[in-house]
Structure 1
Amino acid sequence: MELHVVINGRKDLAEQLYQQLHEAIGSGRLAAGAQLPPSRLLAEQLGVSRKTVSDTYATLTYEGLLVGKTGRGTFVNARALQPARQHTATGLACAASLAQWEALPSPMRHPTRDSTLRYEFIGGATSRNQFPADEWRRCTQDALRRIAQNSGFYSQPEGLPALRSAIAGHIAFSRGVNCRDSDIVVTNGAQQALDLIARVVLEPGCIVAMEDPGYSPARQLFMAMGANVASVPVDEQGIQVERIPDGTRLIYVTPSHQFPLGMPMSLPRREALLARAFQLGAIIIEDDYDSEFRYEGRPTDSLQSMDTRGVVTYVGTFSKTLLPELRLGYVVLPPAIYGAVLKAKQLTDQHSSTLPQWALAKFISEGYLLKHIRRCHTVYAGRRERILQRLAGDLSPWFEAVPTVAGFHMAALCKVPVNIPLLIELAGRVEVGLYPLSVFFHDAPVRPGLIVGFGAIETLDIDPALDKVRDILQQIG
């Protein structure tokens, strides 16, 4: 480590050293846990006696700012007090804006590793045991070799050509998306894709129409940009198009697997939505977050594949098929907004990290992704079937499943009054993670129930976990 100490003259050497070390620790220039030079070495460098340094170290240790570790040396105490800072923003000109951001809820924030429960029914998460670590490691090693051969310049904001080509081929095959490589921008997850589209389409006061219930992080994003979010109810066919208000500039939908209820949007409703968007001059965001996993019937092509007027932006992610931590997503853009979104991407973060981009390009082109999806499909289908059996069996007095044919979560609606907060609290005490459906309703009447994810829980854990849920339901009546 670098330690900057200046000794002026030959007076009060210990006091000079003490004051400078004390100030460095207090200001954070010497961070908690940092190791100080041995007393003999520092004394030689400063031209002072070793006793001067040793005494200073001893004083700071007595005050709790340093800690000695036998056989290792002297370190800045990790529990050393840092200088007090103001914890209020009332004196700042941006206080009102800060308060609005802090007030935003976080209904889909995932637990940390330390707070994860034994049995997790959280939505939007996958089982780490399903991740193809060996194949991904080989692809990452290839990516490192490619990066070592590159010029060292920044990459393209739209993403690596190899990855965009691989994505275009994959989504054309799996989702019927009609696109070219040049229509795709690689993003840091689907959430960044939503952010980029909203940045270039919206202005404060614009109307955004979205499903209610719906994906809360998208709603909060649009509201944070100053938009007026119009809640549009859904029924068994999807969003009720006739209730999209005049003046709407952006429409957010999840047509293949409505979030959170799970039903697909019907063909007539899709046609009506496209016509309404064209009439309004609005852009549609099609969030196709997990529809690569389909369990019944013929796969439904994307809404984007039906778009002949250039109004649909198709947002996809690899967080659901691989791992959320990879933060890799993409957006297929109509020509009218492609240039603006590309500029927004460049200004936001220049480009997404190229290491995972190279790795994912090889992972897709070598066929590993489709192989992984087929393997996961079998696993998720088994988990889904077992949960449906339990909901139709011993859990049927309390819950019923909303019919869904894709993804890896389902909604379980209450058939009788159930104290959902109490159920979730008691379940947590026995290591079962349950999550309420109510947080995804905004203006529409809340339909009480649970969102039941089966991506993160292991198959053999489903029955023991649901046994505990059943027992709790019986106890609370």
Structure 2
Amino acid sequence: MELHVVINGRKDLAEQLYQQLREAIGSGRLAAGAQLPPSRLLAEQLGISRKTVSDTYATLTYEGLLIGKTGRGTFVNARAPQSERLQTATDLACAANLAKWQSLPSPMRHPTRDSTLRYEFIGGATSRNQFPQDEWRRCTQDALRRIAQNSGFYSQPEGLPALRSAIAGHIAFSRGVKCRDSDIVVTNGAQQALDLIARVVLESGSVVAMEDPGYSPARQLFMAMGANVASVPVDEHGIRVDQIPDGTRLIYVTPSHQFPLGMPMSPPRREALLARAFELGAIIIEDDYDSEFRYEGRPTDSLQSMDTRGLVTYVGTFSKTLLPELRLGYAVLPPAIHGAVLKAKQLTDQHSSTLPQWALAKFISEGYLLKHIRRCHTVYAGRRERILQRLAGDLSPWFDAVPTVAGFHMAALCKVPVNIPLLMELARQVEVGLYPLDVFFHDAPVRPGLIIGFGAIETLDIDPALDKVRDILQQIG
């Protein structure tokens, strides 16, 4: 790789080279540890003498900016001194805005590969052992062939037609969603779908109503956009529609599997929510994040399927059914906001990567997705049942499970005072990852407990992990 150095004229060649290399090192353009070209090669590239380059390297080495390694070459010194003090956040005119973003908490940030514990009860994650590697590999190979045949132009911001068609068929079959291919926009996970909808619906000071407790990343997103988030309490039927304030412009709900408590929204409450949104002229975001996994009772249709006025934006994701790392989601948009969201998507990132789009389109159309969901359903049902048995058994003195019929996490509420931070810390010491419920409460009175995910933990690991949790609870009283 050529080093970008520009020599003007034939005067002060050594000084020109010295100043440019020093500036490149000081600015970080030549990073610590980077190897410089051999003096002979750089001299040929610049059309100057090798002695000029060698002398410049020697000067910079003497100053501690470069270091020579016998038999290997010349490198930027990892301990090279900064030529100037870099600006800090407080020096900048945007300091207040930077501080606002930096202060946002990250309650659902997943651990890195190195920090993952032996037994993980984290929510929103799946076991890699369940992922259909062979089928996905075949679909990816097909996607590579399709990309090789394409024109090389950018793709459509709304997503590949093949994938939008596959998604429309899948969610109509599995969730009763009423839509056409043209109603769908493919996004980088559900979080981008929320971002795009909020961008076109909200202005600074707009009111957003959302469940409390609720999905914290959505709350933080809306607040970062300058919205006033109204916390609306939930009961056993879902969000308290009567407490959605006047002036609300956007309503965010998780009706099929309330996050994080887990109960579904009742049909009468859904009807009331649609009526209230129509009265307010508000858009509803229905986040249907994991309801394809249902274990009891009759399946409930999506809220979107009950909407006759074009108020509901249905948001889904493949992070829960396949892998979070794929970052593929989608939104089914009502006509009123469809064009604006597409413009926002195009301005944000042009379009989502087409390689996983082609692969997923084939994965769905070949029937692999439904087969995978059925296989995972059996596994998750067994894990759920075992956790419920333990919560009703030897863990019952401390916790009470919130009834939930879908998804792959549940809430366990404290029946007696439990020092949750201490429990979590002691559990980490024995390789058990536990996660608190209180971070999802904002204005509503906190109900202490745990959010117990069972997507990432292997079935045979549940009892050994919960044995450790029981022993810790006995230890701390």
Q: TM-score, normalised by structure 1?
A: 0.93
> Does structure 2 retain, via aligned residues, the 8 Å contact 1:28–1:82?
no
> Does structure 1 retain, via aligned residues, the 8 Å contact 2:257–2:407?
yes
Q: Which residue of 2 aligns with 1:278?
A: 278
CA deviation vs aligned residue, 1:404-443 (integer Å, no higher than 9, x gap): 1111111111010001111111112222111110000011
Q: Give the 3 Å change call, closer, same or farther, for CA 164–81 of structure 1 in structure 2.
A: farther
Shift, 1:319, TM fit = 0.7
Q: Provide the rounded CA distance (Å) in 1 between the counterparts of 2:377 and 2:433.
A: 23
Shift, 1:42, TM fit = 3.8
Q: Give the 3 Å change call, closer, same or farther, for CA 255–79 of structure 1 in structure 2.
A: farther
Shift, 1:89, TM fit = 3.5
The 10-residue stretch of structure 1 (260-269 or 70-79) with the greater mean CA deviation from structure 2:
70-79
Q: Give the 3 Å change call, closer, same or farther, for CA 460–19 of structure 1 in structure 2.
A: same
> Does structure 2 retain, via aligned residues, the 8 Å contact 1:211–1:252?
yes
Shift, 1:249, TM fit = 1.4
Shift, 1:401, TM fit = 0.9
Q: Give the 3 Å change call, closer, same or farther, for CA 127–336 of structure 1 in structure 2.
A: same
Q: Which residue of 2 aligns with 1:437?
A: 437
CA deviation vs aligned residue, 1:273-293 (integer Å, no higher than 9, x gap): 111111221111100000111
Q: Give the 3 Å change call, closer, same or farther, for CA 236–70 of structure 1 in structure 2.
A: farther
Q: Provide the rounded CA distance (Å) in 1 between the counterparts of 2:189 and 2:328.
A: 5
Shift, 1:32, TM fit = 2.9
The residue matched to 2:381 in structure 1 has which SS? helix
Identity %: 93
Q: Provide the rounded CA distance (Å) in 1 between the counterparts of 2:5 and 2:304.
A: 64
CA deviation vs aligned residue, 1:128-183 (integer Å, no higher than 9, x gap): 22111221121112112111211122111111110000000000011111111011
Shift, 1:65, TM fit = 3.8
Q: Provide the rounded CA distance (Å) in 2 between the counterparts of 1:6 and 1:307.
A: 64
The residue matched to 1:245 in structure 2 has which SS? coil
Q: Give the 3 Å change call, closer, same or farther, for CA 335–16 of structure 1 in structure 2.
A: closer
Q: Give the 3 Å change call, closer, same or farther, for CA 49–346 of structure 1 in structure 2.
A: closer
> Does structure 1 retain, via aligned residues, the 8 Å contact 2:157–2:352?
yes
Shift, 1:99, TM fit = 2.2
> Does structure 2 retain, via aligned residues, the 8 Å contact 1:122–1:433?
yes
Q: For structure 2, list consecutive stretches of 5 or more residues without a partner in the other structure.
A: none
Q: Give the 3 Å change call, closer, same or farther, for CA 453–76 of structure 1 in structure 2.
A: same
Shift, 1:228, TM fit = 1.4
Shift, 1:53, TM fit = 5.2
The residue matched to 1:286 in structure 2 has which SS? strand
Q: Give the 3 Å change call, closer, same or farther, for CA 401–80 of structure 1 in structure 2.
A: farther
CA deviation vs aligned residue, 1:5-49 (integer Å, no higher than 9, x gap): 567899998776555433322222222332222344345556777
Shift, 1:66, TM fit = 3.8
Shift, 1:264, TM fit = 0.6
Q: Give the 3 Å change call, closer, same or farther, for CA 72–145 of structure 1 in structure 2.
A: farther
> Does structure 1 retain, via aligned residues, the 8 Å contact 2:160–2:357?
yes
Q: Give the 3 Å change call, closer, same or farther, for CA 97–29 of structure 1 in structure 2.
A: closer
Q: Provide the rounded CA distance (Å) in 2 between the counterparts of 1:331 and 1:224.
A: 21
Q: Provide the rounded CA distance (Å) in 2 between the counterparts of 1:186 and 1:78.
A: 43
> Does structure 2 retain, via aligned residues, the 8 Å contact 1:122–1:453?
yes
Q: Provide the rounded CA distance (Å) in 2 between the counterparts of 1:414 and 1:429.
A: 22
Q: TM-score, normalised by structure 2?
A: 0.93
CA deviation vs aligned residue, 1:296-345 (integer Å, no higher than 9, x gap): 12221111111111111100001111111111110001111111111111
Q: Give the 3 Å change call, closer, same or farther, for CA 69–256 of structure 1 in structure 2.
A: farther
Q: Give the 3 Å change call, closer, same or farther, for CA 306–20 of structure 1 in structure 2.
A: closer
> Does structure 1 retain, via aligned residues, the 8 Å contact 2:437–2:448?
yes
Q: Give the 3 Å change call, closer, same or farther, for CA 388–18 of structure 1 in structure 2.
A: same
Shift, 1:268, TM fit = 1.2
CA deviation vs aligned residue, 1:376-428 (integer Å, no higher than 9, x gap): 11111121112112111221111111111111111111010001111111112
The residue matched to 2:251 in structure 1 has which SS? strand
The residue matched to 1:145 in structure 2 has which SS? helix
Q: Provide the rounded CA distance (Å) in 1 between the counterparts of 2:310 and 2:9.
A: 76
> Does structure 2 retain, via aligned residues, the 8 Å contact 1:241–1:276?
yes
Q: Provide the rounded CA distance (Å) in 1 between the counterparts of 2:327 and 2:110.
A: 14
> Does structure 2 retain, via aligned residues, the 8 Å contact 1:311–1:334?
yes
> Does structure 1 retain, via aligned residues, the 8 Å contact 2:413–2:450?
yes
> Does structure 1 retain, via aligned residues, the 8 Å contact 2:168–2:180?
yes
Shift, 1:124, TM fit = 0.8
Q: Give the 3 Å change call, closer, same or farther, for CA 130–242 of structure 1 in structure 2.
A: same
Q: Give the 3 Å change call, closer, same or farther, for CA 6–98 of structure 1 in structure 2.
A: closer
Q: Provide the rounded CA distance (Å) in 1 between the counterparts of 2:374 and 2:67.
A: 55
Q: Give the 3 Å change call, closer, same or farther, for CA 457–16 of structure 1 in structure 2.
A: same
**What are the equivalent positions in structure 2 for 1:32-431 lying under 5 Å apart?**
32-42=32-42, 57=57, 60=60, 65-68=65-68, 72-83=72-83, 85-86=85-86, 88-431=88-431
> Does structure 1 retain, via aligned residues, the 8 Å contact 2:26–2:84?
no
CA deviation vs aligned residue, 1:362-384 (integer Å, no higher than 9, x gap): 11111111111111111111211
Shift, 1:80, TM fit = 3.9
Q: Give the 3 Å change call, closer, same or farther, for CA 278–133 of structure 1 in structure 2.
A: same
Q: Give the 3 Å change call, closer, same or farther, for CA 351–20 of structure 1 in structure 2.
A: closer
Q: Provide the rounded CA distance (Å) in 2 between the counterparts of 1:46 and 1:281.
A: 66
Q: Provide the rounded CA distance (Å) in 2 between the counterparts of 1:400 and 1:141.
A: 47
CA deviation vs aligned residue, 1:76-117 (integer Å, no higher than 9, x gap): 344544555545344433332222222221111112222222
Q: Provide the rounded CA distance (Å) in 1 between the counterparts of 2:338 and 2:40.
A: 63
The 10-residue stretch of structure 1 (63-72 or 448-457) with the greater mean CA deviation from structure 2:
63-72
The residue matched to 2:90 in structure 1 has which SS? coil
The 10-residue stretch of structure 1 (340-349 or 78-87) with the greater mean CA deviation from structure 2:
78-87
> Does structure 2 retain, via aligned residues, the 8 Å contact 1:261–1:410?
yes
Q: Give the 3 Å change call, closer, same or farther, for CA 15–87 of structure 1 in structure 2.
A: closer
Q: CA RMSD in A?
A: 2.3
Q: Provide the rounded CA distance (Å) in 2 between the counterparts of 1:57 and 1:464.
A: 61
Q: Give the 3 Å change call, closer, same or farther, for CA 127–244 of structure 1 in structure 2.
A: same
The 10-residue stretch of structure 1 (436-445 or 72-81) with the greater mean CA deviation from structure 2:
72-81
Q: Give the 3 Å change call, closer, same or farther, for CA 81–146 of structure 1 in structure 2.
A: farther
